[in-house]
Structure 1
């Protein structure tokens, strides 16, 4: 079974569906963002980020809007902005800045951010490598309902030198939770462990 740590590189808006971003809605978002309603700034940034509601994609406008909303303590905006810094879109790639933004969002229980911050600690990117810190972040995100983090935590119970001791039962527990949360990867890994019966330490 191939074990790969999973990053979440999908920016998010606060509407339920991209089809909700109509030209009329964009007009409303611009109005309310100009009056410092930060959720409107996040959604407007998302629209520019993805070219929705009749807007041309403009990553620089998206970055400015995410920055404004993040400065206004909107966790989703900080998470979206961290992705731009992680990927180097609209800004110079800066893992340390991404780490700061993921941390700010995670502190406000944006669980996608906690997972990605865990990856940075796992890899030592923009921060001193720390497997135990990474696992704590994966656990927080998994407990908050983030299926990807549950898979990542399950992976780490099957690898030596990842802070936690090798424990196939705990790996299965986290893969099972990921599966319950809708992760096909979690379901597949859980099935693999049941089929194999055990895995050798790596």
Structure 2
């Protein structure tokens, strides 16, 4: 339940909340005390060019810190950054972060991994593994995960 509340808070704040300098100062101090949700809010501010000049390196470092504290949303964002690389070894690191995010309850990462195992031209296709990831997303109340799992079942996998 705690993970769901964290994820919803991130979605709420990024979708409908206008950050202000008071928030920035609060998140900065809270992040220094290892409040990983605050580190993620701070990363969003740096990533989205809100209140301060955009600084992707700082955003990445903040997401990394929060991921180190097992905050799944942050792990997903670390994975997204790594997956943008052209280097295969770095892309492999991204998969580990997507898996950590999925295991931590961030269902978007589960769907990404499921699709990767189902559709990949670079990985060995593994429909059983894809179905497992979609099921994890579905178990986390992600309707798209349920739909993807159902499609695989109806296809005979």
TM-score (structure 1 length as normaliser): 0.64
Q: How many residues align?
A: 148
- Which deviations, in whole Å up to 9, do the C-alpha atoms of 1:44-77 show, x marking residues without a partner? xx7xx83xxxxxx552221121111112221111
In structure 2, how many angstroms separate the alpha carbons of the residues matched to 1:91 and 1:191? 44
RMSD: 2.8
The higher radius of gyration belongs to: 1
TM-score (structure 2 length as normaliser): 0.81
2:91 to 110, 131, 135: 131
Structure 1 segments unaligned to the other structure (5+ residues)? 1-8, 19-45, 51-56
Q: Partner of 2:147: helix, strand, or coil?
A: helix
Gap change, CA 1:143 and 1:197, over 3 Å in 2:
same
Question: Hey, what does 2:4 align to over in structure 1?
Answer: none
The structure where helix makes up a greater share of residues is 2
Q: Does 2:56 correspond to 1:95?
A: yes
- Which deviations, in whole Å up to 9, do the C-alpha atoms of 1:119-175 show, x marking residues without a partner? 111123xxx9822111101111211222121111112212122xx422111111100
Report if the CA contact (8 A) 2:110-2:136 is conserved: yes
Question: Hey, what does 1:165 align to over in structure 2?
Answer: 124
Q: Does 2:112 correspond to 1:156?
A: no
In structure 1, how many angstroms separate the alpha carbons of the residues matched to 2:154 and 2:135? 14
Structure 2 segments unaligned to the other structure (5+ residues)? 1-6
